[in-house]
Amino acid sequence: MNDAEKTACISPVRLGYSSQFKFKCHPGVSCFTQCCRGINIILTPFDIIQMKNRLGLSSREFLAIYTEPHMLEKTDLPMVTLKLLDDERESCPFVKDGEGCIIYEDRPTSCRYYPLGTATLQHKEGADDEGFFFFINEPHCKGFEEDGDWTVAEWREDQGVDLRDEINREWTDLVVRKRSFPPNIKLTEKAKKMFFLVSYDIDKFKEFVFESSFLKRIDVDGATVEKIKQDEIALLKFGLEWLKAVLFKETDPEQQASNAADR
């Protein structure tokens, strides 16, 4: 059994926020950027906003150039992953040999978590106070041999995933709730398209809100309208609360969306 096969046999050890570990990644590590090859990175709504703005693209342009669509397992929901280069190593399009990630400040949430994985998509306050994290055991990674002492909570704060999990929490809640549905309960194609629009194509969703009859059919206060017109994060939260009300038939979708934009 080779090292890779041994690693595959290791069951994840549950880590909590206070769990401690040693890790450091830098250009001097022999495996630098190897973890950026042959990867499967699910992009979150906030990832899309940050990355498309970094590159000066519309959300539709970014989706067309840098992502691949899939159906998320056990949810029947559309999602997108980062499209890898068609080279021998299946490299991330944003990693350069010797340089590392050229969009490092706006890298995806999954990249920020590494070398940790999270065993739940749920990040709502009080949903799982201990969290469920684990190490991504890759035999090539030498970062564990470097000096760098962390707790899981410290690592999340340092890498900025705590902020991203907070922004994405309504989206992750939608995914988890749909995952809990019986397999025979399916969303309509229209509902799936709306989930995709709100989650990933924020520029097109903005057009939908302001250039269709949307605001004539839903009573939204003026302050909220101005906020979501100027702030993409507020627009995302507004859309997710509205989507939750539509998909799960919750009451007062207008009020929920207005409250979300105020957070």
Helix (H, G, I), strand (E, B) or coil at 258: helix
Work out the number of other CB atoms within 10 angstroms of the CB of residue 11: 6
**Hey, where are the domains in the chain?**
3-164, 201-261
Query: Residue 115, preceding bond cis, omega within 30 degrees?
Result: yes
Q: pLDDT tens, position by position, for the chain (263 residues)?
A: 344 444 444 456 889 999 999 999 999 999 999 999 999 999 999 999 999 999 999 999 999 999 999 998 778 899 999 999 999 889 999 999 878 999 999 999 999 999 999 875 444 444 445 678 999 888 889 999 998 899 999 999 999 999 999 999 999 988 888 888 887 788 889 999 999 999 999 999 999 999 999 999 988 999 999 999 999 999 999 999 999 888 877 544 444 444 444 44
Closest CA to 94 of 50, 60, 58, 144: 50
Parallel/antiparallel/unpaired status of strands 116-118 and 133-135:
antiparallel
Q: How far apart are CA 210 and CA 82, in angstroms?
A: 29
Q: In Å, how far are 57, 107, 139, 194 from 52, measured between CA atoms?
A: 5, 11, 33, 20
Q: Helix and strand tally (H, E) in the chain? A: 12, 8
Whether 239 and 198 have beta carbons less than 8 Å apart is answered as yes
Closest CA to 188 of 242, 246, 251, 241: 246
